[in-house]
Amino acid sequence: MNAARTLVASDLDRTLIYSAAALALTMPDHRAPRLLCVEVHEHKPLSYVTEEAARLLAELKSSSVFVPTTTRTRKQYQRIQLPGPPSKFAICANGGHLLVDGVSDVEWARSVTDRIATECAPLDEVRAHVRAVADPHWLRKERIAEDLFVYLVVERELLPGEWVKELAAWADPLGWTVSLQGRKIYAVPKPLTKSAAVREVARRTGAELTLAAGDSLLDADLLLAADQGWRPGHGELAEAGWLAPGTEALVERGVLAGEEILRRFLARAAR
């Protein structure tokens, strides 16, 4: 298959790139691989890949249409410097923004906000409810992302076990999805999906094969839409035992899962 006809859409945080905290998912210090920093914020290193993952990613980006696919805002995404040539396309804000050569596609963003306005309860209503039921004892930050969705930064060990489920049950009939990822809780409108943006990239590029990877509930639609997908042995999907046809559940956890996902991408694209 022509390399340009293979589209690889991958989540970033805790799928391909890992914070210092996420590095501790799997191994003792003496077995830790050599790392490359791929994100710096306020003069501090934030995210890493292994040196082997950096090599694999550079190879993948030169042999396919590689599309970073993240829930991060555009500003947060632009802090990341991935190895290899720059990606022509990137997906931010969980599909709310489709970047083309680093610039948000205006028509795409408008179509997303129009769908949200007609299908979902308003952001202000959801934000007010989240504020009302969150406990300052475990809540550290509350943020609005791109005027599209709300997320919380929490002390995970203090978070009541049923709180996320209760919020999800409240949000579901209003057209919103709730997801717990590490120390962040996201409330996201249902039409705001990574898969819809990936389909648009596939249409524009003429991709014949779409591969995907992700670790969270917000990645489930992406994995289901791909011809083949992979999820790591950690994360929200792994904790829920989530399985689906066409998606392989890897045993690798943490930063080594990022390496294995890249190997699987390269092997499948080569076939």
Q: Which domains does the chain have, with CATH numbers?
A: 6-113+192-270 (3.40.50.1000), 121-189 (3.90.1070)
Q: What percent of the chain has pLDDT over 70?
A: 96
Band of residue 1 on the pLDDT scale cut at 50, 70, 90? very low
pLDDT computed for residue 108 by the predictor? 98
Task: Supply the pLDDT for residue 26.
Answer: 58
Instruction: Please give the mean pLDDT across all residues of the chain.
Output: 94
pLDDT, one tens digit per residue, over 85-127 is 999 999 999 999 999 999 999 999 999 999 999 999 999 999 9
Write out the chain in H/E/C secondary structure: CCHHHEEEEECCECCCEEEHHHHCCCCCHHHCCCEEEEEEECCEEEEEEEHHHHHHHHHHHHHCEEEEECCCCHHHHCCECCCCCCCCEEEEHHHCEEEECCEECHHHHHHHHHHHHHHCCCHHHHHHHHHHHCCCCCEEEEEEECCCEEEEEECHHHCCCCHHHHHHHHHHHHCEEEEEECCEEEEEECCCCHHHHHHHHHHHHCCCEEEEECCCHHHHHHHHHCCEEEECCCCHHHHCCCCECCEEECCCCCHHHHHHHHHHHHHHHHC
Q: For the full predicted model, state whether its pTM sits above 0.75.
A: yes
Q: Of the given ranges (17-31, 89-103, 142-156, 184-198), which has the lowest mean pLDDT?
A: 17-31
Token digits of residue 154: 């929490």
